[in-house]
Structures are given as structure tokens and as C-alpha cells.
Amino acid sequence: MAKTVWVFPGQGSQAVGMGSDLADLAKDKFAEAEDILGWSVLGQCQSDESQLANTLYTQPCLYVIECILVDLLKAQGTHPDLVAGHSLGEYSALYAADVFDFAAGLCLVKRRAELMAQAADGAMAALMGFDRDELDQALATTEGVVLANDNSSAQVVISGTPAAVEAVMTGIKTKRAVKLNVGGAFHSPLMAPAAHEFDQILADVPFKTATVPVLANVDPTPTTDGDTLKKRLMQQMTGSVRWREISLILPEQGVDTVIEVGPGRVLAGLIKRTCRSLTLQNVETLEQVEAMQPSGKVPVECV
């Protein structure tokens, strides 16, 4: 039987105005988020692009919007067979799999964003159109830089010290190499101090058995075990996002449809490059949620 996976984008997919059409149906969720965060998600989503791109705001806003879309999809009887999320999106995936509740996840995301925003003295760069063997050799022989996001065969993100990132960027042939506008070396060993502090918080949060298998960033082997999912999440801040492997495992799991829940089509594009046979859909607006429900069914208020 064919299966559907829900995938959730992370930082970089945010867009000014996202979530505005969900305000009425999800007013209680937005109010709960404001109580936890101390600021309005909808307000930040209506701010300018540079403000929304601030890690402190980007990560909680994406989590809240994605969770609300999950609630609306489930309320109309739509459910995934598997879930996965890219970096921050893994928290939305865990919420979709009922591993923790909305408030617990948002508290984690809030603290994660704070710690990552404080990170300094690191750099990241996106590389496109490269020879994989040459890249692997450069990473193996250059101290202080690692593969942060293995997104597809044609696109990766490297992370580490500014000098080491620059050395790899200029040392191998690429179609395009772009430094990312971030202050820290996310998904690298340089995040260890922040990860250690975060893990102490994460350790106290109960993780329930997932209702559907989760494909984690650091280990895409599907699992529903709460303890395993927590251990994998603890490794995420310093570990690589193995998105290419997640994409490759989808057909092996019987998946034929990928629904990207959240703003943009970044993940759908990455998966399409790796698995061209899969059907790709995107749900980021109320209209798109309604398009997936049985004819004539009225959206249920998200509470």
C-alpha cells in the first residue's frame, strides 16, 4: 500500500506574511504561543524580512505555523504514514508524530533559537554542482570544517571555522558557492557548548512513543521509540542533517507521496532531485489545507 510522508522545512524557508490566513482558525494556538514566547508570532511574521530572518524569531515562528497546519490537516482526517523535518523542522515532525505536545515543543524551540542565536565565530556555506569525491577529500583533510547538511547529490552545506570554510570553498571546483548569513557554525562540533546546555533541558522533557515512524536528521532509520528519538535529537545540533539519505529511504518505505507542510518548496525540490518518481505536494496556506479535505467538509477550528 502506497504511503505518504509529511516533511517540515527549517530555517531559511520563512516568508513575510506566512500564517496570516490562519489567524482566525488558530487564534488559541497563536495566543498560547505568545504566552510562551512573550511576543506575537503573527506580529513577527508581518515584520520586515531581516527581522523575521533573525534566528530568535525564525525558528519559533516556523514551528508554530507548521504545528497549526498539522492540527488543521489532522482535524479533517488527513494523517501521514511517516514524518521527517529538516533541522528545526524535526521539532514540527515530532509534534506531528505526537512525541510531545505543542507547548513542550515550543519551549524547546525557543531555547534552541536563543542558544543558536548566541553562537559566534563560525561560518557556513552552501555548495552546488561539485564532485562528491573531491568534496569528501577536502573535508577529510581540512581541520575545522564538516558537512552540515547533505541535502542532495548536487547541494550541500558545510560548517566550521571561517578560515576552514573558506579553504574548502576555494579549494574545490563548484558550480556555485555561497556563504550563508549566519553567525554560528550550526550542525558542527563548534556547537558543542550550546548543545551541552540544550541537552540538559531536553533530557527533562518526556518523549512519548511516536504514532508514526520518524526519520531523524542524524539517523534516518525509521523509528517510533521515544527514547531513541530523544537521543537522536540530542545529537542534532552538532550532527549532520542527512537529508539526501532521508530522501533515498522514502521509496524503500513504500512512500509515493511527499507533502511539505510549511512555507516554500525547498524540501520538495531537494527530494525531487534525489527521487524523481515521487508525487510532491505543498501545504502552507489555509486554501491548500482545504484543497486536501473531502468535498464540502468545513475546516475545524484549531484549538
Same domain? For 238 and 273 the reply is yes
Alpha carbons 102 and 68: distance in angstroms, whole number: 9
187 is catalytic: yes
Does residue 225 belong to any structural domain of this protein? yes
Q: What is the pLDDT of residue 294?
A: 57
pLDDT in tens, 115-147: 998 887 899 999 999 999 999 999 999 999 999
Order of strands, edge to edge, in the sheet holding 155-160? 145-152, 155-160, 123-130, 174-179
Does residue 63 belong to any structural domain of this protein? yes
Same domain? For 53 and 198 the reply is yes
Active-site residue, from 13, 87, 92, 188? 87
Mean pLDDT value across residues 2-30: 95
Coil, strand, or helix at residue 215?
strand
pLDDT in tens, 25-51: 999 999 999 999 999 999 999 999 999
Does residue 298 belong to any structural domain of this protein? no
13 is catalytic: no
Please give the helix or strand (H or E) that residue 202 lies within, else none: helix 192-202
Q: How far is CA 209 from CA 46, 223, 233, 299, in A?
A: 36, 9, 14, 28
pLDDT in tens, 135-182: 999 999 999 999 999 999 999 999 999 999 999 999 999 999 999 988
Same domain? For 279 and 132 the reply is no
Same domain? For 14 and 111 the reply is yes
The count of C-alpha atoms lying within 13 angstroms of the C-alpha of 264, restricted to the half-sphere facing its C-beta, is 16
The domain in which residue 264 lies consists of: 3-119+188-291
Q: What is the pLDDT of residue 152?
A: 95
Active-site residue, from 13, 92, 152, 187? 187
Contacts with 156 (C-beta within 8 Å, 6 or more apart), sequence order: 126, 127, 130, 135, 147, 148, 149, 150
Alpha carbons 162 and 282: distance in angstroms, whole number: 35
End of a domain among 179, 213, 247?
Answer: 179
